[in-house]
Amino acid sequence: MKTRWVIQVTAVGVVVMLLLCGIWTGVFFLTASLYAATGLTLPPFLIQVLNSLFGLLVFVLLFIVYIAWSSARSEVRRQRMQVFEPIIEAMKRIAKGDFQIRLDPEVGANGFTSELAKSVNQMAEELNQMEHMRQEFISNVSHEIQSPLTSIQGFAQALHDEHLPVLEREHYLGIIETESMRLSRMTENMLKLASLESKHLTVEPNSYRLDKQIRMLILACEPQWTRKAITMEVDLEEVLLFANEDLLSQVWSNLLHNSIKFTPQGGKVCVEVHRQDRCIECRITDTGIGIPLEAQTRIFERFYKVDASRERAREGSGLGLAIVRKIVELHQGTIKVVSQPHAGTSMLVSLPAAE
307-336 pLDDT tens trace: 544 344 445 566 788 888 888 988 889 999
pTM (2 d.p.): 0.57
Output Rg (C-alpha) for the chain, integer angstroms.
Answer: 40
Instruction: Determine the Cα–Cα distance for residues 180 and 169; give it in Å rounded to an integer.
Output: 16
C-alpha closest to that of 251 among 288, 210, 292: 210
pLDDT for residue 57: 77
Close Cβ partners of 50 (under 8 Å, ≥ 6 residues apart): 31, 42
One-letter-per-residue 3-state SS of the chain? CHHHHHHHHHHHHHHHHHHHHHHHHHHHHHHHHHHHHHCCCCCHHHHHHHHHHHHHHHHHHHHHHHHHHHHHHHHHHHHHHHHHHHHHHHHHHHHCCCCCCCCCCCCCCCHHHHHHHHHHHHHHHHHHHHHHHHHHHHHHHHHHHHHHHHHHHHHHHHCCCCCCCHHHHHHHHHHHHHHHHHHHHHHHHHHHHHHHHCCCCCCCCEEEEHHHHHHHHHHHCHHHHHHCCCEEEEEECCCEEEECHHHHHHHHHHHHHHHHHCCCCCCEEEEEEEEECCEEEEEEEECCCCCCHHHHCCCCCCCCCCCCCCCHHHHCCCCHHHHHHHHHHHCCCEEEEEECCCCCEEEEEEEECCC
| CB burial of residue 248 (10 Å; 0-12, 13-18, 19+) | buried
Instruction: Determine the Cα–Cα distance for residues 55 and 41; give it in Å rounded to an integer.
Output: 20
347 pairs with which residues across the strands? 284, 337
259-307 confidence digits (pLDDT tens) = 998 888 999 999 999 988 889 999 999 988 888 887 877 788 776 666 5
Instruction: Determine the Cα–Cα distance for residues 159 and 174; give it in Å rounded to an integer.
Output: 12
pLDDT for residue 350: 93
Low-confidence ranges of the chain (pLDDT < 50): 308-314
332-354 confidence digits (pLDDT tens) = 899 999 888 888 899 999 998 87
Close Cβ partners of 181 (under 8 Å, ≥ 6 residues apart): none
pLDDT for residue 315: 54
pLDDT for residue 308: 45
